[in-house]
């Protein structure tokens, strides 16, 4: 049995992070005034179906008393816990049987419960029902028999018809806070005899993004020989050195000094040596230089970076604030080759940090024009979805739903890797994703992982989408046009931006 199932809350007091819903429902149970239809909406893994099952127990428990908790001992509670009480009917609306099951529900609902006092219907992923099925369900919700209760659960409340919502009492389940998740994981660690460092639990809680189920899943996957170690977790989640260096490099190329400095902070916070990091950055830059021979623009930029970081490395040992030389190097690298007065991007090669002022400028041609032209064309593809409707999908629509797609990726590892990708093009049913990190891209490229991602797309758009993965090209972003006539933003200006100092 998975840890998540083992530690699934069995009574109201064990439900984490949904105090409002729990208090209201317990109160209604005490007064015998429970609503016949509930809609539980909210992110995945926040306890919607767990709470629904606790309600089913509370409604039927043979020992239900003043505490308003199911006893978990009587035959009814036991039957529900073991998944074999016939009067609790769980329907997965996402399965193909959805419509048949709703039809069956309509036919059988009039019959009295066979064992328990009430019949409880839990319909999970209810937004996946077809229009037909919703209509059938609505008729039932309009006049439910006295013995029937409905709990509908969904991650996508906006897809539920207003007519259905108006028949239900709705509770919006919140993402569970990092502190609450860590506390729960600590309890489980104690119970399971797992030695887990708090830093690792914290990281997993953050990655789980408010979903306790994901956090417990991670906990399970990360346990090795009765231990959970931060380094192992970081490595598995794609937060290891290699990935960070790849990202660091991309941020420099994209002139995002703030983000590049965040990487340095992360390295520093993890207690790694900045000097070692700088050596690894230089080794990585060398690799990139060798790969890019023949691309004069790229190679010159990379040589410039190598020069800047080599200087920084020499200064780290003597610096009062160890990360300062690196931060200055980041700002210099991001400022490198900016010349807004010319249309075409230019590249300069500073020979050392000090001679940067006098750097010679060299104009180079704009690259990859043809493919940029192609990208401008609005790509729309008509695809037939599961229910036979023609759906028009384009890059904009995919981008609008990006966060939802991420939320729908079931496995935290895969979600983490996927988040590194950026949708760049949609063409003939294929979505092109550009990754900062080739390590993370390779994870998504694995067929089994890709299937998980595709499932997420399918649940949002109701159709299958092919993925084309690529590593972001070494692209020199043209400098932002500055209002001032000034040639280039100075190091000081960039520093102000990075360190949050204003001009006023």
* 69 vs 298, beta carbon nearer Zn ion: 69
Closest CA to 410 of 142, 57, 155: 155
For the CB of residue 6, give the shortest distance to Zn ion in the complex, in Å.
20
* 61 vs 133, beta carbon nearer Zn ion: 61
* 116 vs 243, beta carbon nearer Zn ion: 116
> In sequence order, what are the residues at sequence separation of 6 or more whose Cβ sits closer than 8 angstroms to the Cβ of residue 456?
405, 406, 408, 409, 410
For the CB of residue 21, give the shortest distance to Zn ion in the complex, in Å.
21
For the CB of residue 62, give the shortest distance to Zn ion in the complex, in Å.
5
* 77 vs 476, beta carbon nearer Zn ion: 77
For the CB of residue 78, give the shortest distance to Zn ion in the complex, in Å.
8
For the CB of residue 447, give the shortest distance to Zn ion in the complex, in Å.
46
Closest CA to 205 of 179, 232, 244: 179
State the burial class of residue 86 (Cβ atoms within 10 Å of its Cβ: 0-12, 13-18, 19+). exposed
For the CB of residue 87, give the shortest distance to Zn ion in the complex, in Å.
14
- Between CA 306 and CA 313, with CA 311 as vertex, the angle to 5 degrees is 95
For the CB of residue 404, give the shortest distance to Zn ion in the complex, in Å.
38
Rounded CA-CA distance 82/75 in Å is 10
What 3-state class would DSSP assign to 394?
strand
Q: Are 129 and 94 in contact (CB under 8 A)?
A: no
* 78 vs 470, beta carbon nearer Zn ion: 78
Q: Are 69 and 238 in contact (CB under 8 A)?
A: no
Residue 75 to residues 12, 57, 218, 404, Cα–Cα distance (Å) = 19, 10, 33, 40
* 63 vs 163, beta carbon nearer Zn ion: 63
Q: DSSP string of 43-87?
A: STTSSHHHHHHHHHHHHH-TT--TT----S-SHHHHHHHTT--TT
* 77 vs 312, beta carbon nearer Zn ion: 77
Which residues lie near Zn ion (CB under 5 A)? 61, 63, 70-71, 74, 77
Locate 48 and state its tokens: 């919607």
* 69 vs 337, beta carbon nearer Zn ion: 69
Longest dimension (CA), the chain: 89
Q: Are 431 and 408 in contact (CB under 8 A)?
A: no
* 65 vs 271, beta carbon nearer Zn ion: 65
* 61 vs 263, beta carbon nearer Zn ion: 61
Which residue has 């629904």 as its token pair? Answer: 52
Q: Are 393 and 463 in contact (CB under 8 A)?
A: yes
For the CB of residue 9, give the shortest distance to Zn ion in the complex, in Å.
15
For the CB of residue 153, give the shortest distance to Zn ion in the complex, in Å.
23
What's the alpha-carbon Rg for the chain, to the nearest Å? 28
* 63 vs 403, beta carbon nearer Zn ion: 63
Residue 98 to residues 113, 123, 153, 388, 390, Cα–Cα distance (Å) = 22, 9, 14, 16, 21
Tell me the CA end-to-end span of the chain in Å, nearest whole number: 61
For the CB of residue 70, give the shortest distance to Zn ion in the complex, in Å.
5
For the CB of residue 72, give the shortest distance to Zn ion in the complex, in Å.
6
> In sequence order, what are the residues at sequence separation of 6 or more whose Cβ sits closer than 8 angstroms to the Cβ of residue 294?
none
């Amino acid at each position: 049995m998975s840890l998540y199932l083992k530690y699934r809350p069995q009574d109201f007091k064990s439900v984490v992070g949904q105090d409002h819903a729990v208090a209201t429902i317990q109160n209604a149970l005490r007064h015998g005034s429970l609503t016949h239809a509930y809609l539980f909406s909210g992110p995945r893994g926040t306890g919607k179906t767990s709470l629904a099952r606790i309600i089913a127990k509370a409604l039927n428990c043979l020992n239900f008393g003043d505490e308003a908790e199911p006893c978990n001992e009587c035959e009814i509670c036991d039957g529900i816990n073991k998944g074999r009480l016939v009067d609790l009917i769980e329907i997965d609306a996402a399965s193909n049987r959805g419509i048949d099951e709703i039809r069956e529900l309509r036919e059988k609902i009039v019959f009295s419960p066979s064992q328990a006092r009430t019949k409880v219907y839990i319909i999970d992923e209810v937004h996946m029902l077809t229009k037909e099925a919703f209509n059938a369900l609505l008729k039932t919700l309009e006049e439910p028999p006295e013995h029937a209760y409905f709990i509908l659960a969904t991650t996508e409340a906006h897809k539920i018809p207003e007519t259905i919502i108006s028949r239900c009492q709705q509770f919006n389940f919140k993402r569970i806070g990092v502190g609450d998740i860590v506390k729960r994981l600590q309890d489980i660690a104690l119970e399971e005899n797992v030695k887990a460092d708090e830093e690792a639990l914290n990281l997993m809680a953050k990655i789980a993004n408010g979903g306790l189920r994901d956090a417990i899943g991670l906990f399970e996957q990360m346990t090795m020989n009765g231990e959970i170690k931060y380094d192992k977790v970081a490595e598995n989640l794609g937060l290891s050195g290699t990935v960070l260096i790849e990202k660091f490099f991309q941020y420099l190329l994209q002139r995002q000094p703030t983000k590049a400095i965040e990487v340095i902070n992360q390295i520093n916070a993890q207690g790694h040596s900045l000097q070692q990091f700088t050596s690894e950055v230089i080794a990585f830059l060398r690799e990139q230089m060798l790969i890019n021979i023949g691309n004069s623009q790229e190679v010159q930029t990379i040589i410039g970076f190598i020069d800047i970081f080599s200087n920084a490395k020499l200064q780290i040992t003597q610096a009062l604030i160890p990360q300062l030389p690196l931060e200055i190097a980041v700002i210099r690298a991001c400022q490198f080759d900016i010349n807004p007065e010319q249309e075409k991007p230019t590249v300069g090669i500073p020979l050392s940090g000090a001679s940067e002022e006098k750097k010679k400028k060299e104009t180079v041609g704009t690259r990859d024009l043809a493919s940029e032209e192609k990208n401008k064309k609005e790509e729309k593809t008509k695809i037939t979805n599961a229910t036979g409707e023609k759906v028009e999908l384009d890059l904009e629509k995919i981008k609008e739903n990006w966060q939802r797609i991420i939320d729908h990726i079931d496995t935290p590892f895969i979600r983490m890797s996927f988040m590194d990708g950026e949708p760049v093009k949609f063409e003939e049913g294929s979505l092109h994703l550009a990754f900062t990190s080739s390590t993370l891209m390779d994870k998504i490229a694995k067929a089994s992982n890709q299937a998980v991602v595709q499932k997420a797309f399918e649940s949002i758009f109701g159709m299958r989408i092919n993925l084309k993965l690529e590593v972001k090209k070494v692209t020199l972003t043209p400098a932002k046009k500055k209002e001032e006539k000034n040639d280039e933003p100075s190091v000081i200006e960039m520093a102000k931006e990075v360190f949050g100092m204003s001009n006023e």
